[in-house]
Amino acid sequence: MTVFNIDEEDNLNRMRRGDLYYAFTPKLVAARKRCRQAVTRLNAAEDPTRREMAEFWRQITNDDRPLPPPAATEDEEDNVLHEYPWIEAPIRIDYGTNIKVGSNVFINFNCTILDTCQVTIGSRTLIGPNVSFFSGTHPLDPELRNGTNGPELGGTITVGEDCWIAGNVTILPGITIGAGSTVGAGSVVTKDVPPYHVVAGNPAKIIRKLERNPNGKQ
């Protein structure tokens, strides 16, 4: 059986579930091309307005909901468009349709999101430069892996609300980072992070627990 003789819809569902699937079928190649073209438009934009940024994100994620009506000022626009992330280009994204982002999220430059499976980023989370979300992976068996003819797989990534993912962090498939947590610069996250913890290192390890303070101090 070649990759072109499989049920494309079943293959897509297998990808989203994290099961073995084939990435180089016509449907998935076309989906990545669509996203790449949308990402290229964002990356090529020079000093986009907040509304333009939101429109680019809507195209990347293939969101057919219209944007809210324009506000009177640019500052008010930021409040109106809070559901759309603030993005510093360039970024790289695989599909775009498997990304869910909360409100008031900031994504710094050179972010890579391989959204083979769903990647969720909670509200008010800050993403540093050069952060990579790798929800896709490959079989370890080289015969099964088989280059572009072999199957791939993945796992969902969930980042809770109010997190800070510092620069040069890599997050691997199947990881959940709890609300309010911080991941130190240069970390590789290979295990789940509990809520309100600081982790750092390769692999990332718990540095300390954050005590919640109603006055905002830690």
**Residues taking part in catalysis:** 138
Residue type, 52: E
Q: What DSSP string describes 53-94?
A: HHHHHHHHTT--SPPPPPPSSHHHHHHHTTTS-EE-S-EEES
**What's the Cα-to-Cα distance from 136 to each of 20, 112, 117, 168, rounded to whole Å?**
10, 12, 7, 18
Rounded to the nearest 5 percent, the helix, strand and coil shares of the chain are 25, 25, 50
Can you tell me the distance from the alpha carbon of 121 to that of 102, in angstroms, rounded to the nearest whole number? Answer: 6
Q: List the structure tokens of 119.
A: 């990647």
Can you tell me the distance from the alpha carbon of 150 to that of 137, in angstroms, rounded to the nearest whole number? Answer: 12
Let me know: does 189 contact 165? Beta carbons within 8 Å.
no
Q: List the structure tokens of 17.
A: 């579930």
Nearest to 183 by CA among 119, 202, 173, 174: 202
